[in-house]
Amino acid sequence: MNTRVTVVEKIMDANDQVAVLIRDKLTAKRILAINLMASPGAGKTTFILRTIQELSSRFRIGVIEGDTAPVTIDADKITAAGMPAVQINTGGECHLDAMMMSRGIDQLPLDDLDLIIVENVGNLICPAAFNLGTHLNVLIASVPEGDDKPYKYPNIYRGLDVLVISKTDLLPYIKFNMEYFKQGVEILNPGLSTFALSAQTGDNFQNWINWLEKQIAILKQNG
């Protein structure tokens, strides 16, 4: 005779609980943290380097680099740009989780930072399932990836606070239906803040920088 035991517990709850602690800690220190997600090759590191370049005279920025393999290519580029970077090797896992994030922030000089940028593992599926305790989830969708991505990866678009449509300088050379792309985004995440830009040429990059500066200021004031 078996007994049925009601559980009703969210399967990602253990991760979410750690994420809440991280966010509280960062908020108390008035550090804005952003979780930058994208597919491999979308230009995450280029985007981060340009963001650092634009903000480094006014803000102190730390970077956490998630990679599935123990290569420090990305972290080295950040360090060369003069900002503290921590490399987290996920050991083959396809995403960062809150525990890894916790180890990452412990290695950063938190008392000397205004902004933490987390470069998640290049992947449009798994990172969406793991809260990191950041304040904002950002996705970079580069136009060469195609206009069907919201339709194929609805989950990641659902959890976004900001969308960056990047590599817009390539639009003349590829087939990318912006209307179709934006329709998918609007269905999944109505009114999502969106920036279309090129980190390579700098086109419209300032809009993103202005917005980000505002978010840093808001957190500094209100916590």
Partner 1 sequence: MHELAVTENILSIALKHAKQAQAVKVTDIYITIGQLSSVVDDSVQFHWDIMSEDTICSGAKLHFNRIPAEFFCTECQTKFNMDQVLAPCPNCGSIRVRIVAGEEFFLESIEVERKGDDSL
- Contact between 39 and 124 under an 8 Å Cβ cutoff? The reply is yes
192 binds partner 1 (CB under 8 A): no
Token pair of 80 as six digits: 């060369």
Sign of CA dihedral 113, 160, 170, 77: positive
Question: Nearer Cβ to partner 1, position 88 or 115?
Answer: 88
Of the candidate spans 8-16, 40-48, 136-144, 165-173, the one that interacts with partner 1 by CB under 8 A turns out to be 8-16
What are the backbone dihedrals phi and psi of residue 213, each rounded to the nearest 5 degrees, phi first?
-60, -40
| Among 191, 220, 223, 183, CA closest to 60 | 220
Site string for partner 1, 165-184 (x = CB under 8 A): ------------------xx
Instruction: Report the residue from 115, 133, 150, 162 that binds partner 1 according to the rule CB under 8 A.
Output: 150
- Contact between 150 and 157 under an 8 Å Cβ cutoff? The reply is yes
Instruction: Report the residue from 27, 60, 77, 186 that binds partner 1 according to the rule CB under 8 A.
Output: 186
Of the candidate spans 22-30, 31-39, 152-160, 163-171, the one that interacts with partner 1 by CB under 8 A turns out to be 152-160
User: What CA–CA distances, in Å, run from 77 to 45, 47, 82?
Assistant: 8, 12, 9
**Interface with partner 1 (CB under 8 A):** 1-15, 93-95, 97, 125-126, 128-130, 150-151, 153-155, 158, 183-184, 186-188, 190
